[in-house]
Amino acid sequence: MVVLRDRPVVALSPALAEALAECGPRVLQIVTSPASRLTIPLRTLAGTPKATWVVAPGDGYYEGLTGRPMRWDGTAFTHVPDATDYAPTYKTRPSAPLGSHLTLTFQARPAENPGAQIEHLLHLITGHPPLGWGPTEPLKHPWKGPDLPRAPHLILTGKNAIATLNFSGETETTTLVVAYPPSTRPPITDLPPLIDALTTKTPITALMAQLSPGRPDLTTEPRWSGAASPIGLAAAGARTGPPGFTRQRLGPPSAPLTWFPLGDGRSPDYWHRHHQLLTHLNNPAHT
- Alpha carbon distance 284, 121 (integer Å): 31
What pTM was estimated for this model as a whole? 0.93
CA atoms in the 13 A half-sphere facing the CB of 162: 22
**51, pLDDT greater than 90:** yes
| 162 contacts 177 by C-beta, under 8 angstroms | yes
Average pLDDT, the chain: 93
**109, pLDDT greater than 90:** no
CA atoms in the 13 A half-sphere facing the CB of 147: 3
Please, which residues bridge with residue 163 across strands?
156, 176
pLDDT (tens digit per residue) in 167-225: 887 788 999 999 999 999 999 999 999 999 999 888 899 999 999 999 999 999 999 99
- Alpha carbon distance 119, 158 (integer Å): 9
